[in-house]
Structure 1
Amino acid sequence: MLIRQTVLYLPAQLLGPLAQLAAIVLWTHWLDPLEFGLFTLALATQEAVYLLFLAFWSYFLLRFLPGADRAERERMDAIETWVFFANAVLQSATLLALLAYVGHHWPDPGVLLTLFVFALTRSYCTHLAERAKVAQKIGVYTALQTIGPLGGLIIGWTWASLMAKGPAQIGPTQVLTAYAIAQTLSLLFAVPSLRLRLRPARPDPALARRIAVYGLPLAISGVLAWVPGNGIRFVVEHGLGIAAVGLFSVGWTLGQRACAFAAMLVTAAAFPIALRLEANGEKHRALEQLALNGALLCAVLWPTAAGLILLAAPLSKLAVSAPYLATTLSILPIATLAGLIKNLRSHFANQPFLLAQKTGWTLAIDVLETVLFLAGAAIGLRTLGLSGAAWGAFAAVSIGAALSFYIAVRRLGMPMPYAHLLRIGLATAAMAAALSLLPPLSGWAALLGAVALGGAVYAATLALSYRGHWGRLRASLSTTS
């Protein structure tokens, strides 16, 4: 069931993140470091605003909407109305304050409107994608995950190409406008297909308390987890300025998003299966499913991170604009390691906490991780510059992940899939050895050939180690859920 569901979600997990990865590289050729820094700060701000004001509701619906009866769904509808209204008001106020802080003056109304529409539409695309996942509307989920990043890239790139022929040049405001347009189109397509019954009725107090107990710790945890991944840009801005953010963000974002992209290929369908098992009273099987989900995650994430680190130099030289190259070469390997650890914790170690509704435990670990990050990034930035800030973030997420895995296994009873992990580790090592033996690479053909070679070695080694399991895999792919 897990393999089949993963295949069904694959287009959504491929196209959107792939467009986001491409955008990071392509916009370095149109935006200078200062403009690129502003663009990435806008992206980071949107993610923080979503985590602060809407994510708690997304988490709650993902966990409890599948088992809700009609009366409870009506109570959820009433609360959702107020959540949407409050989210719009709070987002606008937060964005205004942040723009005033970064720009050191009150922003232009046009810039504020662009950022507000961009942030609001992107937040609701993320939230409604979770609603579509709960309803098993894979087509709607795919549209919400792909139209925004892919359409925004196409609109923005076309706009940039046209403007380059005239006296004006595209800037971060125009880039954000392109994404806002695409995200709006995806919402217009998706909303009629989802069950949304917004009505400003009086919220049910008991349900509101349940939402607060379950969702708010997760939202705070999300904001704290955001700090090492995205908040590091604000640390760099405070210490070295916005242009330094632009230089730092290319390598950092590529490493982070590449790992997130690999993780999302196999995580969309995983947790709902464990939830269904737990709802049927099969807690032990649900924990075993989480372990299997984690093994599948590692099977994709480990070789992706290893390959990106080994091929970071030729990839950066080919893809990244010259002003960003030196910083990208130093940051990308560290960012990839940090992204690897961050996604292992988010999509593997944290899953038993969600299943057991121990969101307060997750919050406590996130507080510790954030404190360590702030100290490590500040000290690293002061002593080693931009690479030091990256190493500080890596150290913080590593400690948080180690603690999360320890509690998930020892306190919450998740089994570790050691046999699977050993096979995956051996296959990753074989791939790394093959790539290390290659001569220096130059040109896209050589780089793509190296990727193909590494993938072939990894797949062949993994297939050999699982040679006794192929019959069971074919049966799982043909099974209907």
Structure 2
Amino acid sequence: MLIRQTALYLPAQLLGPLAQLAAIVLWTHWLDPGEFGAFTLALAAQEAIYLLFLAFWSYYLLRFLPGADAPARERMDTFESWVLLANLALQAAALGLVLRYLAGTPPGAAAFAVLFAFAFTRSYCTHLAERAKAGNDILAYTALQCGGPIGGLALGWLWAHLTRDGAARIGPLQVLGAYAIAQAASLLFALLRLPLRWRLRRADRGLLRAVALYGLPLALSGALAWVPGNGIRFVVEHGLGLAAVGLFAAGWTLGQRACAFAAMLVTAAAFPIALRLEASGERGRALQQLADNGALLCAVLLPSAAGLIALSAPLSQLAVSAPYVADTLVILPIATLAGLVKNLRSHFANQAFLLARKTGWTLAIDALETALFLIGAALGLRALGLAGAAWGALAAVSVGAALSFFVAVRRLDMPLPSAHLARIVLASAAMSAALALLPPLAGWPALALATAFGGAVYAGVLALCYRGHLRELRGRIPFLSR
């Protein structure tokens, strides 16, 4: 079941994040560090606004919509209508405050309109993608996940290509406008498919309490977790200015998004299976499903992170524009480690908290992690510059992840797939050692061959570790057992 669901969700998990990764590389060639810094701050601000004002409802729907009966769905439709309308005003006000802080003056009408369109459409695409996942509408989910990143990159590239020799060269606002157009098209497609019913009447108080108890702690937890991953850009901007944000963000965003990309390849279909098992009263099987999900996550995420760290030097020199290379060489390995730890916590340990409805515990751990980050990033930035800020963020997320796994295993009875993890770590270590023995790499073909070589080493060692399981699997498949 898990493999089949993962395969169905794979296009959405592959194409959208891959376009986001490509965009980080390409925008460094079209935007100078100050412009790239402004662009990445806009991305970070939008994610914070979504987490503050809309994520609580997305989390609640993902958890409770699949098992809801008709009256419950009607109450949810009413509540959702008010939430989506209220977000128009809330997101506009929050965006205005962010722009006032960054610019020091009220934003111009054109800049505000573009930024609001970008933030609004991106937030609603994220929310409706979660709704589509809860309803198992894979086509709508794929459109919402892929339309914005792919369409925005294509439109931005077209603008950059058409204006590269003229005075109206592309800038951050044009890039954000391209993404807003693509996201709006995805929203329109999804609205025509999803069973959204607008019901502007009094919301149910019982549902309001349930959402507050379940969704709000998760949203606050997400906002706190946003600080080490994305808020670090604002720490850098406050300390060193907008151009430093651009230099920092190239390596930091590549490492973070690469790990998120690897994780999302296998996580979209995983948690709903555990939810269905728990809803049917099979809590033991649901917890075991979380462990299986975690093993599959580690099998993809650990070698991806290890390979990226091993090949970070040639990748940095080849991928990003010359002004960004020196800082990316230093930041990318640290960012990859932070992304690895963050995704292990988010898509493995935290699933046990969601299943047990212990969202307050998640909030407490995130509060601790955020406090540690603010201290570590500020001290690191002052002592070691951009690299110090990255090390501070890594230390904070590591403490949060360690505490989350401890509580999930000891208090919530989540099994830890130790045997699987040992094999995966061994295969990843063998791959890293093999890559370290390669001569210096020059050019994309050499980097591609090294990547394929590392993948082959990992797969080969992992196959040796699972040789007994593979023989058993071969015996179960008729055409392989002949």
Q: Give your verdict on TM over 0.5.
A: yes
SS of 2:72's equivalent?
Answer: helix
Q: Distance in 2 between matches of 1:187 and 1:255?
A: 28
Deviations 1:22-43 (A, max 9, x none): 0001000010011000000000
* TM norm structure 2: 0.98
Give the match for residue 137 of structure 1: 137
Give the match for residue 115 of structure 2: 115
Deviations 1:166-213 (A, max 9, x none): 222100000000000000111111111101001111000011000000
SS of 2:66's equivalent?
Answer: helix
C-alpha displacement of 1:468: 2.4
Give the match for residue 403 of structure 2: 403
SS of 1:469's equivalent?
Answer: helix
Give the match for residue 60 of structure 2: 60
* TM norm structure 1: 0.98
> Is 1:85 equivalent to 2:89 in the alignment?
no
SS of 1:324's equivalent?
Answer: helix
> Is 1:275 equivalent to 2:289 in the alignment?
no
Give the match for residue 8 of structure 1: 8
8 Å CA contact retained: 1:3, 1:476 = no
CA gap 1:100/1:454 in 2 versus in 1, 3 angstroms: same
Paired residues for 1:12-91 under 5 Å: 12-91=12-91
C-alpha displacement of 1:471: 6.6
Q: Distance in 2 between matches of 1:475 and 1:413?
A: 34
C-alpha displacement of 1:467: 2.1
> Is 1:361 equivalent to 2:348 in the alignment?
no
SS of 1:468's equivalent?
Answer: helix
What is the aligned-residue RMSD (CA, Å)? 1.3
Q: Distance in 2 between matches of 1:373 and 1:21?
A: 25
2:410 counterpart letter in structure 1:
R
Q: Distance in 1 between matches of 2:475 and 2:100?
A: 58
Q: Distance in 2 between matches of 1:449 and 1:117?
A: 42
1:273 counterpart letter in structure 2:
I
C-alpha displacement of 1:318: 0.6
Deviations 1:78-97 (A, max 9, x none): 11011001111110000001
8 Å CA contact retained: 1:250, 1:328 = yes
Give the match for residue 336 of structure 2: 336
Q: Distance in 1 between matches of 2:90 and 2:402?
A: 35
SS of 1:369's equivalent?
Answer: helix
C-alpha displacement of 1:476: 10
C-alpha displacement of 1:341: 0.3
C-alpha displacement of 1:474: 7.6
Give the match for residue 242 of structure 1: 242
Q: Distance in 2 between matches of 1:327 and 1:416?
A: 37
Q: Distance in 2 between matches of 1:359 and 1:27?
A: 37
2:174 counterpart letter in structure 1:
Q
Q: Distance in 1 between matches of 2:462 and 2:181?
A: 43
Give the match for residue 146 of structure 1: 146
> Is 1:386 equivalent to 2:386 in the alignment?
yes
Q: Distance in 2 between matches of 1:229 and 1:335?
A: 9
Structure 1 stretches lacking a partner, 5+ long: none
Moved more, 43-52 or 459-468: 459-468
> Is 1:168 equivalent to 2:179 in the alignment?
no
CA gap 1:434/1:114 in 2 versus in 1, 3 angstroms: same
Paired residues for 1:439-454 under 5 Å: 439-454=439-454
Identical counterparts, % of pairs: 73
Structure 1 segments of 4+ aligned residues over 3 angstroms from their partners: 470-478
1:336 counterpart letter in structure 2:
T
C-alpha displacement of 1:383: 0.4
8 Å CA contact retained: 1:378, 1:389 = yes
Q: Distance in 2 between matches of 1:442 and 1:334?
A: 23
C-alpha displacement of 1:477: 11
8 Å CA contact retained: 1:3, 1:477 = no
8 Å CA contact retained: 1:376, 1:396 = yes
Q: Distance in 1 between matches of 2:429 and 2:386?
A: 29
2:413 counterpart letter in structure 1:
G
> Is 1:308 equivalent to 2:311 in the alignment?
no
Q: Distance in 1 between matches of 2:459 and 2:244?
A: 39
Structure 2 stretches lacking a partner, 5+ long: none
1:38 counterpart letter in structure 2:
A
CA gap 1:231/1:30 in 2 versus in 1, 3 angstroms: same
Deviations 1:258-283 (A, max 9, x none): 00000000000000000011111111
C-alpha displacement of 1:475: 10
8 Å CA contact retained: 1:36, 1:246 = yes
C-alpha displacement of 1:49: 0.4
CA gap 1:477/1:307 in 2 versus in 1, 3 angstroms: farther
